[in-house]
């Protein structure tokens, strides 16, 4: 169906029938009705309450215009129309569907119009001539205030008009001049009301589509932003993670070292570093191949994770070398962590594609205190010097640096040089 050029573009592209203004998609139509009811239900209830008050209040006019038929008129007003309105108003506060609300509010409008028609049918003339104004008020409420759809309000208005004609021409015939003038006003009012109701509903539906489009675009934008943020975080994670061992890389280690030292100088705290190097690792690669060497590095990284404290930061420093940052740890605490790690690794058989293998590690430890100059480069240099001292002392041991000179860790069970064998020697054995 070609869109109606006289409708707002979003609405013209979404409806099936430009007369009924129904959406082509039944689910979309139901969603609109629910959303529209949520927006207008309070207004519709207030309009219905106002209509009930006016309808009852016009009973005073019955006394003035048709005193001889006032009791019949009151029985119609207060025995039919007003009770129907009150009942519908009360029931509208329950869990009702949009279709039920529209039908029940339409029933009130129809009851009000037919009630006036019944009063006109029994009222003596000329008092009954002026009651056509009541028909117009009922139609106005249906077109603008009760929240009825355009098609529903239009049908009700013309049904009430037809009821008026039946009364005015046959049931209680009125002078032709009165019928013609009333008909002219009634038809004119209905046409104006239909145009107003059509415009209100078409723009209400267009606004609904615009809001839905905005909400969908907003949701897509939020989803896109979340995806971008997730990818950014993933990229940042990849940029600071070593892909082989899943430990932090050297770059992230130095950034965390700077951060930890800056935080550490704010309160009396200590900062320590462990530098680790696998013993004879080159022989592993040369003899068993790089695939086995990678498996050894992955297993060593796993042992490091289990050996350090919560809050410690481990990284792959380069090749077979690792480093661990220990915030709020003095040298003794660092030595304990290092010895635990050395002992765990020495006791572990590492599975590889070529069979199990044992490797050992040499560890250098260094520490800063608040009394020291926060020279991070010097801290790492001292840890490196302690590492090389451990290598020279026979490997498979933890060595500490104090006062710029490396010393063997005291009070810790360190393996003797002749107790350690290289990875290749272990494999051959």
In three-state secondary structure terms, 322 is strand
Rounded CA-CA distance 152/108 in Å is: 13
How many whole angstroms from its chain centre is CA 419? 61
Calculate helix-pair angle for 150-166, 132-140, nearest 10 degrees: 170
Residue with the two structure tokens 């927006």: 39
How many other CB atoms are there within 10 angstroms of residue 328's CB atom?
16
Tokens found for residue 41: 């239900």
CA 284 vs CA 102, 147, 347, 429: distances in Å: 83, 83, 18, 14
CA distance 3 to 28: 17
C-alpha distance from residue 140 to each of 36, 136, 204, 302 (Å): 20, 6, 18, 79
Nearest partner of 23 among 40, 44, 34, 153, judged by Cα: 34
Say if residues 382 and 376 touch (Cβ distance below 8 Å). no
Gap between the Cα atoms of 334 and 398, Å rounded: 10
In the block, residue with structure tokens 């005193």: 67
Catalytic residue among 234, 320, 332, 339: 320
Active site residue 320: yes
Tokens representing 279? 């013993």
CA gap 108, 160 in Å, rounded = 12
* Measured distance between the N- and C-terminal CA atoms of the chain, rounded to whole angstroms: 86
Catalytic positions, written as ranges: 320
């Amino acid at each position: 169906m070609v869109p109606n050029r006289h409708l707002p573009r979003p609405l013209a592209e979404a409806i099936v029938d430009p007369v009924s203004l129904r959406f082509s998609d039944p689910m979309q139509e139901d969603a609109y009705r629910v959303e529209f009811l949520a927006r207008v239900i309070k207004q519709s209830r207030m309009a219905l309450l106002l209509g009930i008050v006016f309808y009852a209040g016009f009973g005073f006019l019955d006394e003035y215009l048709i005193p001889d038929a006032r009791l019949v008129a009151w029985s119609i007003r207060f025995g039919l129309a007003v009770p129907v309105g009150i009942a519908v108003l009360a029931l509208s506060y329950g869990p009702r569907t949009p279709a039920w609300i529209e039908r029940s509010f339409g029933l009130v409008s129809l009851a009000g119009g037919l009630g006036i028609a019944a009063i006109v049918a029994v009222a003596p003339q000329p008092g009954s001539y002026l009651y056509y104004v009541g028909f117009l008020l009922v139609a106005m409420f249906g077109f603008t205030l009760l929240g009825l759809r355009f098609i529903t309000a239009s049908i009700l208005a013309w049904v009430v008009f037809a009821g008026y004609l039946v009364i005015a021409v046959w049931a209680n015939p009125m002078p032709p001049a009165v019928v013609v003038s009333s008909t002219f006003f009634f038809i004119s009012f209905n046409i104006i009301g239909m145009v107003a109701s059509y415009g209100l509903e078409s723009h209400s539906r267009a606004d609904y589509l615009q809001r839905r489009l905005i909400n969908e675009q907003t949701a897509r934008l939020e989803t896109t932003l979340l995806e971008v943020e997730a990818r950014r975080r993933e990229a940042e994670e990849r940029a600071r993670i070593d892909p082989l061992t899943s430990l932090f890389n050297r770059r992230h280690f130095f950034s965390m070292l700077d951060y930890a030292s800056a935080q550490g100088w704010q309160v009396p705290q200590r900062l320590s570093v462990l530098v680790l190097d696998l013993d004879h690792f080159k022989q592993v690669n040369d003899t068993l191949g790089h695939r086995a060497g990678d498996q050894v590095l992955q297993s060593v990284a796993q042992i490091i994770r289990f050996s350090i404290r919560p809050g410690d930061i481990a990284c792959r420093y380069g090749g077979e070398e690792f480093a661990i940052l220990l915030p709020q740890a003095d040298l003794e605490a660092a030595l304990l962590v290092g010895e635990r790690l050395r002992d765990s690794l020495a006791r572990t058989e590492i599975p590889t594609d070529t069979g199990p293998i044992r490797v050992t590690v040499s560890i250098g430890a260094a520490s800063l205190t608040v009394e020291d100059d926060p020279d991070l480069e010097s801290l790492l240099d001292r840890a490196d010097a302690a590492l090389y001292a451990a290598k020279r002392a026979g490997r498979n041991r933890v060595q500490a640096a104090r006062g710029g000179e490396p010393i063997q860790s005291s009070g810790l069970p360190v393996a003797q040089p002749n107790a350690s064998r290289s990875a290749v020697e272990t494999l051959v054995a």
